[in-house]
Structure 1
Amino acid sequence: MPKTAIPTSAGLTAASDMAASAASEARLRRSAPECRPKRVMPVPTMNTVVCPTPAYKHTLVRDTVRARPAAHGMGHFTHPAPGSIRLVAQPHVNEEAGVPRQKTTARGEGVSRERIRDAAIRLFGERGYPVIGMRDLSEAVGILPGSLYAHISSKEDLLLDIVESGITAFIDVIQPVVDSDLPADQKMREAIRAHLDVLAQQVEQTRVTFHQWQYLGAENRAKAVEVRQKYEDLIVQIIDEGVASKIFRDSGHHRLPVLMIAGILGSATEWYRPEGRNSAQEMADAIADQVLLGLQSAT
């Protein structure tokens, strides 16, 4: 009569462990739909199932039991260890679009505030300040989100810096024009040229400066308005000089032409392109011709 093999306790344990692991994996697969098996290489101790979601990839990680070492030092691997299956969230990477994940560093070596600021200008300009988070900024410069705070105090602090420095760049080039001995009409033309020159050099920052400052909180918005007022005061000074010298006609509404000129120059970010067929100086002269036509006295 043939002998019937009796399972040992070790065999039953191994079989039970494998069944438990398979059941755990099945439950996690059901909780994370659209999973597709993917071998993580070159690490031989981990199998993953990657499940894309809008913001994250959930990686099902199954650790394996390391058996006796092999000659090449990598070891043999048997069944999954009991309770070793876990779901790990990882930032989503658009592999289909060919966008690689930035290599991150815990302390942000080689990352400066200027680099973070440049990334913020690009992201705010492309997608808008409200939808950009600290994680977006950290991934753009290749550091962990917490490391950003070694360089900036907040996202709003970064926006205020962009706005203030953006407006200041225009003030710095227009102030010498206002202080010159040129007649008022020539000052106006040179001021518009100076504005377009700065715009041509920093289109993205100017777009954020003039169109996203309203996302600042009340305190920081007041600071931005104060700097912008200095910019507008330079235009006011040119117009006042022109009216006093009879070069510009007195319409009785000195503030209105200032707002109109500031609006024209501020909206230039929407249509001016440095790679366009007209240079910044050509566009500046075209704008100045129209502005002066409305300002100049009939005599």
Structure 2
Amino acid sequence: MTTIFIDGAVGTTGLQIGERLAGRSEFVQLTLPEEKRKDAIARRDALNAADIVILCLPDDAAREAVALIDNPHTRVIDASTAHRIAPGWIYGFPEVSGRAAVAEAMRVSNPGCYSTGFIALVAPLVKAGLIPADWPLTCNAVSGYSGGGKSMIAEFESGEGVPPAWRTYGLRLNHKHVPEMRERCGLAIAPLFAPAVANLFSGMIVEVPLHLAALPSAPTAAALSDALAAAYEESPIVRVVSGYDEGTLAIERLADTDRLDLFVFADVANQQARLAAALDNLGKGAAGAAVQSLNLMAGLPETAGLRL
């Protein structure tokens, strides 16, 4: 039986992880009373008593938590941005990093939600040589407002005024997900990333447009789809959807699930393609990914407790 401690269990991601672990007899969960949640000594004791710690904290607090661990056996899954490109940390995307690497890791960094969609689409195509590592990629994406944490949830759900139906952001072009998107795809050039938020709780669409004829190998849409299908053929979570002939793709498609659907839409005549990923920003984009890594680290089936 594996002892776990969620530091930051009352945050958005922490609560979602807790829901996925509820009733699971494979784990014993350490908890702190409300008055001890920010007590350094109580946190240190819990962090060092657990077999696996899941950090659902702001970046600086996550770094502090890791520093409080003073034994060689406690393993960590960090859901913050703090360690996503840090040396010695395994990226918690088993389908890309490798299941064995995650299962054996002492330190795992949970991917960002947008990053999950982008990396799922791009990393296999760079590896297959269909997209050059130095190609200038763009990424357009929209998320439910829960991706902004408690402050954004409060903004949209306060009942004060009329919240926007949709808004773009990240206009300074320094979004915190970009470094991991570049690093985990092996890109020489940072992608131009255009994120947005919509007035719904959860859900996500991530897109990467491509001019196929401009790419050095001029790949066909079928070649892109085949490469993605080959990359995820053994995954029970990531699916490359074929035969989808609708003209729209809803952001709610995979809301409240831990799945990830990938698409290749193409205009053969004009040699253009739109790669798209549908997921839940709180599912495969956060809590579902953390639980998937936790399962592997505990020697359990990777889908245990997930919403599939």
Fold shared, TM-score > 0.5 on shorter chain: no
Structure that is richer in strand per residue: 2
TM interval, short-chain normalised: under 0.3
Using CA pairs under 8 Å that are at least 6 residues apart, name the structure with larger relative contact order, 1 or 2.
2
Q: TM-score, normalised by structure 2?
A: 0.25
Structure that is richer in helix per residue: 1
